[in-house]
């Protein structure tokens, strides 16, 4: 999958105008700044321009935010709620709750922390794509590790930002993603390019972080229920991860999976 990722600059606009209440879900009449400022690169400049021209007559973009750090979550939700072009319709502190709210509320964009408990942001993304829920996913992570970025892009994420991004850049990225664009922070672009180059001649199976955890616990001899208890996920989720591991390793049972993993040095 190729992305045409180019930087662009924004034109000056009048300050946003907010109406009463606490600012949550407030509709303003002015056009917000288009995406692309503060070092965030957008893949669809045309979509952003169309948005900037037509925002005054459109409804705000519905957003769900999920992060397991309450202080960070509250601050981010508060900042997004002050934008007239965005409406925060829900928030969650774990992946299970985030997925439940996505199914219930059907937000246009879900802003997810990559390392959520119960279900990771990547697992929520897989479920959203698998079940065709229609929500576009923007991943927000405290890390820019090449494997994490690669797996998110491979899974179909619509944007990837690090938590170093400022609130305005995050809001602009949500707008771009909602309008059909793809956003990758500069740091993510660099590590993604490096990861792709490293994988060109490498046939090692790509396991997600959670699949590696499950595989490691299988190698330790834990049962499905024991793995579920240790990782604090459901037994059905463990079965799904186990089957994914089997499929990627080309095996059909535990012993073979461990043997192949050891031979390919997938177990540290």
Number of separate helices (H) and strands (E) present in the chain = 11, 7
Q: Which residue has the tokens 């979550």?
A: 73
* pLDDT for the residue numbered 139: 93
Q: Which of 135, 158, 179 is nearest to 47 (CA)?
A: 179
Cα-trace Rg, the chain? 20
The Cα angle at residue 21 between residues 19 and 23, in degrees rounded to 5: 65
* pLDDT for the residue numbered 196: 59
- Token code pair at residue 27: 């509709």
Q: Which residue has the tokens 């970025």?
A: 149
Whole-angstrom distance, CA of residue 246 vs CA of residue 253: 7
* pLDDT for the residue numbered 203: 60
* pLDDT for the residue numbered 56: 42
The CATH architecture assigned to 41-198 reads 3-Layer(aba) Sandwich (3.40)
* pLDDT for the residue numbered 136: 96
CB 85 within 8 A of CB 32: yes
Longest Cα–Cα distance of the chain, Å, equals 64
The CATH architecture assigned to 209-263 reads Orthogonal Bundle (1.10)
Tens digit of each residue's pLDDT, the chain (268 residues):
334 343 333 333 333 333 333 433 333 333 344 444 444 444 454 455 445 444 444 799 999 999 999 999 999 999 999 999 999 999 999 999 999 999 999 999 999 998 898 888 988 998 998 899 999 999 998 765 556 777 788 788 999 998 889 999 999 999 999 999 989 887 776 666 655 555 555 566 678 888 889 999 998 889 999 999 999 888 888 988 898 888 888 888 888 888 888 877 787 6
Whole-angstrom distance, CA of residue 72 vs CA of residue 86: 18
- Cα torsion 69, 161, 151, 177 to 10°: value is 110
Q: pTM of this prediction? A: 0.58
Domains 41-198 and 209-263 share a fold: no
Q: Which of 126, 102, 123, 106 is nearest to 114 (CA)?
A: 123
Whole-angstrom distance, CA of residue 227 vs CA of residue 232: 8
**Pairing status of strand 61-66 against strand 109-113:** parallel
CB 254 within 8 A of CB 241: no
Whole-angstrom distance, CA of residue 96 vs CA of residue 42: 29
- Bridge partners of residue 86, in order along the sequence: 61
Q: Would you list the domain boundaries of the chain?
A: 41-198, 209-263
CB 37 within 8 A of CB 169: yes
* pLDDT for the residue numbered 54: 47
* pLDDT for the residue numbered 75: 94
Long-range contact pairs involving 12-21 (C-beta distance under 8 Å, separation at least 24): 16/82, 16/83, 16/84, 17/84, 18/82, 18/84
Whole-angstrom distance, CA of residue 28 vs CA of residue 55: 10
């Amino acid at each position: 999958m190729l992305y045409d990722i180019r930087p662009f600059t924004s034109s000056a606009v009048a300050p946003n105008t907010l109406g009463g209440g606490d600012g949550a879900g407030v509709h303003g009449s002015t056009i917000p700044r288009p995406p692309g400022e503060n070092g965030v690169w957008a893949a669809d400049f045309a979509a952003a321009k169309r948005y900037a021209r037509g925002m005054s007559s459109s409804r705000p973009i519905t957003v769900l935010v999920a992060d397991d750090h309450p202080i960070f979550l509250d601050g981010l939700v508060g900042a997004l709620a002050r934008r007239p072009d965005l409406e925060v319709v829900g928030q969650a502190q774990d992946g299970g709750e985030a997925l439940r709210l996505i199914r219930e509320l059907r937000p246009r964009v879900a802003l997810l922390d990559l390392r959520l408990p119960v279900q990771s942001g990547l697992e929520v993304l897989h479920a959203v794509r698998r079940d065709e829920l229609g929500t576009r996913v923007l991943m927000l992570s405290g890390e820019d590790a090449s494997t994490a970025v690669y797996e998110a892009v491979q899974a179909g994420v619509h944007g990837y930002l690090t938590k170093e991004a400022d609130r305005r850049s995050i809001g602009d990225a949500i707008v771009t993603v909602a309008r059909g664009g793809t956003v990758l922070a500069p740091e993510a672009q660099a590590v993604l390019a490096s990861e792709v180059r490293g994988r060109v001649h490498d046939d090692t199976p790509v396991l997600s972080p959670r699949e590696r955890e499950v595989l490691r616990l299988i190698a330790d001899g834990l049962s499905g229920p024991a793995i579920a208890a240790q990782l604090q996920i459901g037994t059905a989720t463990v079965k799904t991860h186990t089957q994914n591991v089997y499929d990627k390793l080309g095996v059909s049972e535990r012993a073979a999976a461990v043997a192949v993993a050891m031979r390919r040095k997938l177990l540290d």
